[in-house]
Homo-oligomer: A and B are copies of this chain.
Amino acid sequence: MNADRRGSFIVSVGDLLASWNLPHATGRVYGLLLVSEAPLSLDMIAAELALSKGSVSTAVRQLDSWGLARTIPQPGSRRLLVEAAGGIASLLEASHARAKTLIAALREGEDLVSTDPARRRLEDVIGLFASYVDVGSQMLSTYRRQQERGKES
C-alpha cells in the first residue's frame, strides 16, 4: 500500500541522515519533503509525521542550515512553507572536511612508532582511510562541477 511504502521511505531517510549524526526526526522531515510534490506548512509536516510543531521547527531549521530545505514566506501570512532543496552534497562535504582533519591528526602519530611491523601497520590504516576519503572528495568535486555546468546551460 502506498502509505506504507511512503512511511518506510521516510524512515529510511531518517536512518540515512542519522549516519551523519542528524536527529532521526530531522531526517524524516527531509524524507517527507522529498516525496511531496508541493511545499508543505509546518502544521502539515507535524500532522503527517506525528511530531510536535517545536520538533518540526527545529528540524526545518537544521535542514535549512544544511541547504537541504528552504522556507518560503507567504505574502500576507505568517505561515511558512517548506520544500526540499538541493542534494546531500553539503553533508558529504562537511563529513569529508572532518575526515581530513582526523587524517591530519593521525599522520601526526606516524613518527610515534619507528619499527616494523607497528610502523607499517599504522601507515596502512592511515593510507586506507586517506584513499577512501580522497575518492569520495574527487567524486563530490566532479558532481559540483556538473551541477555548475547544468546551471549555466
Contacts and interface: CB of A to CB of B under 8 A. Distances in A.
A118 B88 CA distance: 15
A152 to B, nearest CB: 17
Contacts of A143: 128, 131
Contacts of A115: 37
Given A102-B15, A106-B12, A36 B118 contact: yes
Chain A contact residues: helix, strand, loop or mixed: helix
A9 B132 contact: no
Given A34-B109, A37-B113, A129 B5 contact: no
Interface residues of A, number: 46
A105 interface: yes
Interface stretch (A47-55, A58-66, A73-81, A134-142): A134-142
Contacts of A148: none
A112 B5 contact: yes
Contacts of A132: 92, 136, 139-140
